[in-house]
Amino acid sequence: MYLGRDLELGVYRAVKELPLNRKREAKLLRLLDHPFLPAMTDYTEQGDHCYLVMEYIRGKSLRQYLEDGRIFTAEEIIETGRKVLQIFGYLHSRKPAVYYGDLKPDNLMMTEEGELYLVDFGSAVLGYERQYQDCSGTKGYASPEQYQGQIGSASDIYTLGRTLEALCGKKKFRYFIQYPGLRRFIGKCCRRQPEKRWKNASEAEQALNALRPLTVKLWNILIPAMGALLLFIAVSMKFQERPGNPVPLPELDQALSPVTAWYYSMPFRSGGVGVREEMIRIIEDSLARLEKEYKDRQSQERIRLMIARNRLAEENIVFAEAGVCRLNTEERKGQER
């Protein structure tokens, strides 16, 4: 990639050099016209190379921003997803459809004014090339089916989920709490089976637009409660990891107490469906950690029962408070029997 200047107009251009056998990218770019795509202004061939002359985007890739230490806010990440979905909606609606195939932070350019552009169509595939046999995506971002020589709109949705997750960085857990539906959105994008992802870019964009943050009141209650639970788990695991320190595990009831307390908390009771769904997922993660620690059969059976009940609550959130909150009482009755 070179930075050039148009000697007649005096403007800068980005010039991409490719071997002639890859000039299909130039043919593809000539067919596209979208405000979030750099425009191709000229094309030339010299020897065994071709040169794509494109609009110069004065900015950096999102990967460069991350490496420079920038922390994207949850709102910026959601807005990035929204713009990418608008691009995908445009590409997938072409005749034939265009599947980008290699979305990642490296291929998203952002100007100093905050304008976003999708660049590098070297891995893009036209709809009639669905039997494309090589995976041109990037490990960690490419969808599972791309490694089997298949690509479609669901493949681009998968790469979007992985990209948004990468942009969250170390703030991922905090953002998932701040926007209770963000974890579900990314999770559905990244399902291994294409048919279980969002049906198309339009459906995914609607889901993204529907995300709402926690209210300030619930946020102030939830964060300290989560911090206390995580601290309890971290300290518990720390004691167990010390070599030569035979610190016994606390009674299971004591370990479960801060976990089951979530069902009775104010955020769970009055936080709405999105908040409850996120809290139920947090509870399952906590139970899964305890399952690894308590190895005796009775504890294992009890924890697994709680995980099963917790999943039932997630599937039928309406009955979560009435059914799952009685879990301890039912377990005790079961043990007595």
Tokens describing residue 259: 């976990």
Q: Per residue of the chain (337 residues), what is the pLDDT tens digit?
A: 899 998 888 889 999 898 887 787 888 888 898 999 988 888 888 888 989 898 888 899 999 999 999 999 999 999 999 999 999 999 999 988 999 999 999 999 999 888 999 998 888 888 765 555 455 788 899 999 988 888 899 999 999 999 999 999 988 888 988 888 899 999 999 999 999 999 999 999 999 999 988 765 555 555 565 665 565 555 555 555 555 555 577 888 878 877 777 776 666 666 566 667 777 777 888 888 888 888 888 888 888 888 887 777 666 654 443 444 444 445 545 555 5
If you ran DSSP here, which 8-state letter would residue 93 be given?
Answer: T
- DSSP states along 30-88: TT---TTSPPEEEEEEETTEEEEEEE---EEEHHHHHHTT----HHHHHHHHHHHHHHH
- Residue 314: per-residue pLDDT: 64
> Phi and psi dihedrals of 297, rounded to 5?
-60, -45
Q: ∠ CA 124-110-86 to the nearest 5 degrees? A: 50
- Residue 288: per-residue pLDDT: 84
Per the listing, tokens 């990468």 go with 166
Angle, helices 201-209/153-168, rounded to nearest 10 degrees: 30
- How much helix, strand and coil, in percent to the nearest 5, is found in the chain? 60, 10, 30
Cα 287 to Cα 273, 302, 304, 307, 326: the distances in Å are 21, 10, 8, 7, 17
CA dist., res. 50 & res. 15, Å (int) = 10
CA dist., res. 322 & res. 225, Å (int) = 22
CA dist., res. 123 & res. 100, Å (int) = 6
**In sequence order, which ranges of 135-242 are alpha helices (DSSP H)?**
153-168, 172-178, 180-189, 201-209, 216-241
Nearest to 159 by CA among 93, 91, 99: 99
Tokens describing residue 118: 């999708």
CA dihedral 104→102→179→269, nearest 10 degrees, is -130
Q: Environment class of residue 163 by beta-carbon count within 10 Å: exposed (0-12), middle (13-18) or buried (19+)?
A: buried
Task: Tell me the pTM.
Answer: 0.67
CA dist., res. 162 & res. 183, Å (int) = 12
- Residue 322: per-residue pLDDT: 40
Cα 189 to Cα 70, 72, 155, 293: the distances in Å are 25, 20, 9, 31
CA dist., res. 132 & res. 292, Å (int) = 43
- Residue 325: per-residue pLDDT: 40
- DSSP states along 258-272: HHHHHHHSHHHHHSH
CA dist., res. 93 & res. 194, Å (int) = 18
- Residue 296: per-residue pLDDT: 87
